[in-house]
Amino acid sequence: MKQREKNTNLDRRTVLKGGAYALAAATAGIGIFTPNNSNADTAKVVIKYDWLMSNGQIGDIVAATQGLFQAEGLDVEFSPGGPNSATVPPVVTGQAQAGQFSDSAQLLLARASGVPIKIFACGFRMAPFAFYSVPKAPIRTVHDMVGKRIGIQPTARYVLDAILLKNNIDPSSLTITNIGFDMTPLTTGQVDAVTGWITNTQALSVIGPDRIDLMMKDTGLPSYANVYFATDDALQNHSDTLAKTLRAIAKGWAWTYEHPEEAVKLAVKAYPQLDLVVELKTAPRILSLSFDAMTGKDGWGAFDPAAIGEQISVYDKIGQFKSGAPKLEDCYSTEILEMTAADRPKIG
């Protein structure tokens, strides 16, 4: 797969443009969920994604190709993002009925800027963001970073700052170097660790089989990825449609879990730019991000509000919220999860 290096997504999109937010806030409340003209009983739903369709949306793609949306009476359209695509405005103006952020921090920043949107489900139980090192200078824990040279993209620096704060580590105790989006600085010995997304199988392959991964979740900083969001108005007045949408997507992820190879083939057929060989290698990692002990108990898409609250606290301490931190209760809703509790797969 010619997948983007998702580091850009985690951070470029987290430092969201104030102008787009102002537009979003000013136009919020426009009517949404218009019926499909071809069938008055079918609801038209557009889902706006943060980036191009890839392995992180494989369950969504399966839901479309297997007729799971149609079974819910929905006519669903995927609206992919890209380098110059804004995720928030289409949702709050009613062009899209739901959106997906690559990282939960993006929604927190949006809410802090006054945009009336909330998380209602999460696709990945943890961010795919990680630090990569090799045995000659291993970084297996956050404290192993002390005295090491860490290569990180400038736009991802805030993540490292948050991790160091969370672990009471002085940033001056390590050397922080700006790098691009490839692994070369690590393989050539310029740094002791680089950052990237664990789902970017092709880019990471150059490091070799002895690669050591320190996942973001193992640094003590919680984060959800591929989070689904909608406006306050949609959650209050169109919860039935959002529930149908999530129910179909959840079933798509269950089918993907049970038939991973077939699911990959369906995704590649729908989006030929994806590489079948690479995607087959990546599928187990995708499923490990999507299902864990909590999804075994509460179903796919579940999240812990306390973890979101912890994110708010840490990012507030490093000054990410220029206009003040958002209130936790303004950042999420569990209503759609509750409405679909019996139908979302409990796989752990």
Q: Are 124 and 287 in contact (CB under 8 A)?
A: no
Based on the fold, state whether residues 95 and 205 are members of the same structural domain: no
For 313-347, the pLDDT digits (tens) are: 999 999 999 999 999 999 999 999 999 999 999 99
Q: Which two tokens stand for residue 241?
A: 């449609």
Give the chain as a 3 state SS string: CCCCCCHHHHHHCCCCCHHHHHHHHHHCCCCCCCECCCCCCCEEEEEEECCCCCHHHHHHHHHHHCCHHHHCCEEEEEECCCCCCCCHHHHHCCCCCEEEEEEHHHHHHHHHCCCCEEEEEEEECCCCEEEEECCCCCCCCHHHHCCCEEEECHHHHHHHHHHHHHCCCCHHHCEEEECCCCCHHHHCCCCCEEEEECCCHHHHHHHCCCCEEEEHHHHCCCCCEEEEEEEHHHHHHCHHHHHHHHHHHHHHHHHHHHCHHHHHHHHHHHCCCCCHHHHHHHHHHHHHHHCCHHHHHHCCCCCCHHHHHHHHHHHHHCCCCCCCCCCHHHCECCHHHHHCCCCCCCCC
Report yes or no on 94 lying in a domain: yes
Same domain, 15 and 114: yes
Among the three residues 219, 240, 255, which one is the final residue of a domain in this structure? 219
Q: Which of 82, 117, 112 is nearest to 99 (CA)?
A: 117
Are residues 145 and 215 both part of a single domain? yes
In this structure, are 260 and 214 located in the same domain?
A: no
Of 219, 238, 263, the last residue of a domain is 219
Indicate whether 118 and 157 sit together in one domain: no
pLDDT tens across 208-217, in order? Answer: 999 999 999 9
Give the tokens for residue 51. Answer: 């980036």
pTM equals 0.88
Residue 89 pLDDT greater than 90, yes or no: yes
Specify the pLDDT at position 40.
Answer: 56
Structure tokens at 29: 């409340």
133/117 same-domain check:
no
Asked if 206 and 231 sit in the same domain, the reply is: no
Examine the fold and report which residue of 181, 201, 219 is the final residue of a domain before the chain moves on.
219
Q: Over the range 210-242, which residues count as b (16 or more CB within 10 Å of their CB) and which as e? A: ebbebebbebebbbbbbbbbbbbbbbeebbebb
Domain tally for the chain? Answer: 2
Where residue 219 falls among pLDDT bands split at 50, 70, 90?
Answer: very high
Out of 78-92, 112-126, 285-299, which region has the weakest mean confidence (pLDDT)?
78-92
Model pLDDT for residues 171-197, shown as the tens digit of each residue: 999 999 999 888 999 999 999 999 999
pLDDT computed for residue 181 by the predictor: 84
Q: What is the pLDDT of residues 97-118, one digit of tens each?
A: 999 999 999 999 999 999 999 9
